[in-house]
Amino acid sequence: MKEQVLHHEGTVEALNGITLSGCEGIRIGDVLYHRIRLRERDIHSDRELLKRFFRKLLRDLFFADEDFVRAGDGDTLFYLAPYYLFRKGLRENYERAVNLSEHHVYLRPGRKRFTLKRLRHLGKMLAWTREMKAAPGMTLAQRLYYAGYLLECRVRYAAVKAYERKQGLAFRRMLALNDVQYLDSWFTQHFNREGRGTVTLQHGVYCANFDVWTYTGSHSKTLLANSRFTVDEGKILGFDHDTKVVGLYTFINNQPEPKALPEELRVIGAFLDDDNMLEDNFRMIEVLRDYCAPRGKKLLVRLHPTSHEERYDAYRGEPCVSFVPREQPLFDFFREIDAAVVRNTTVMLEASQFGIPSYIIQNPEQVFDIYQNVAELKFGTAEEFAALLDRPKEEIRRDIETARAIFGCPGEIAENYRRAFRELGIR
């Protein structure tokens, strides 16, 4: 395995080493990890940091309000943070898990409206900005930028506490969609500090060889894992949380019938990463185009939800290349293709369970590899891809079964979740 790297550990650990007022027992560096990583990668001047800080403050005056949906006794909080708001399919899939419980409060992003309620917390934000001086080497702009995100955490968590008081509730536990983003981490750590149960529902595939943070940064007491693959990768890192393998939440009450393998694989589906991997995305299209064009096959390209369509205009004139509409449901796309190719997107999980031959394209210089231990399904060039797809059908079927075994979960998915919920006291 390649060397494990935890990025930005200096700033993260410096913030973890201080205590902010009202945040006793909370590892602030862990809350802010992804904001720290993005700042160090994308924002290289204090001037730009200040612009983003003030832009966020103004934008937060029109933020998505909290929408509490109660069912039954409401003793479990299911939380979906507002940064998932633009992912319609993700929200719908998460709600499949929510709806398996009869006694919960579902906290979801509500409508956007103008509000001044965050201004009541500005004094605390400014106090945190001063207190972060204890973390060496941080400029005022950096401290303001981070405090702005902590302000959002405080306001949204205060809304939960106010809801509990108003409803006469005391949540026994919380289930979050991942818990390494800033709001999820803040909520999870506060629930832990208050002695309440915490559960995280795994979204996607965790990366063991490059960014171990997806494991080590988790504070939930229990992980609901989407496959045995997650557990095996975690063991490499000494991940010792309580883990229940329940399957992909996309398939709760929605498990597909595996597709029949056609006589000839004529339509190849490419699933791109986000635009942070732009050059790798270009290379992926070109390798698959070079495979498809001389063989009269069709390449259907599906952009990542965060991608900018105009960045791929150079490939739209290619005779064998087509881009599918961004709003097309994922399952409809699976029905159109005969084989799937991914790089580091998490769609491999769904594609493999759909019964589609599913493969992973590799860049020889690639470091970030969430599928590092799946060598038998990888290729790097058009010729290597041809060597995989031009084999007898029985060998391709073995690839399908290999992928299903690695990324799947035995049993009926909804029942797996119900069983895990019962064990956790979620009714």
Q: What is the pLDDT of residue 7?
A: 43
- Of residues 11 and 208, the one with the higher pLDDT is 11
| For residue 1, pLDDT beyond 90 | no
Taking a C-beta distance cutoff of 8 angstroms, is the pair 222, 198 a contact?
yes
Q: Which is nearest to 253 in space by CA: 116, 92, 421?
A: 92
Across 405-414, average pLDDT: 92
pLDDT in tens, 223-245: 999 999 988 888 888 888 899 99
Within 10 angstroms of residue 55's Cβ, the number of other Cβ atoms is: 11
| For residue 47, pLDDT beyond 70 | yes
- Of residues 212 and 403, the one with the higher pLDDT is 403
Q: What is the biggest distance separating any 2 CA atoms in the chain, rounded to whole angstroms?
A: 68
**Token duo for residue 56:** 């966020």
Across 329-352, average pLDDT: 92
Pairing state of beta strands 104-112 and 64-71?
antiparallel
Q: Which whole-number Å values give the CA distances from 263 to 249, 358, 382, in the listed order?
A: 31, 16, 21
Q: What is the pLDDT of residue 6?
A: 40
DSSP class per residue in 200-251: EE--S---SSSBTHHHHT---SEEEES-HHHHHHHHHHT--SEEEE---GGG
Amino acid at 422: R
Q: What is the pLDDT of residue 62?
A: 81
Q: What is the pLDDT of residue 380?
A: 95
Q: pLDDT-derived band of residue 166, with 50, 70 and 90 as boundaries? A: very high
- What percentage of the chain has pLDDT greater than the value 90? 67
Position of tokens 């006694």?
A: 103
| For residue 4, pLDDT beyond 50 | no
DSSP class per residue in 286-337: HHHHHHHGGGT-EEEEE--TT--GGGGGGGTT-TTEEE--TTS-HHHHHHH-
pTM for this entry: 0.89
Taking a C-beta distance cutoff of 8 angstroms, is the pair 217, 180 a contact?
yes
| For residue 5, pLDDT beyond 60 | no
Across 334-354, average pLDDT: 92
What's the CA dihedral at 141, 144, 146, 148 to 10 degrees? Answer: -140
**Strand-by-strand arrangement of the 358-361 sheet:** 321-323, 298-302, 267-271, 339-342, 358-361, 378-379
Q: pLDDT-derived band of residue 424, with 50, 70 and 90 as boundaries? A: very high
Instruction: Tell me the domains of the chain and their CATH numbers.
Output: 9-251 (no CATH), 267-407 (3.40.50.2000)
CA distance 90 to 84: 7
State whether residue 48 is helix, strand or coil.
helix
**What value, to the nearest 5°, has the Cα angle with vertex 286 and ends 342 and 402?**
25
| For residue 281, pLDDT beyond 60 | yes
> What is the overall mean pLDDT for the chain?
91
**Token duo for residue 98:** 């929510």
User: What's the residue count for the chain?
Assistant: 427
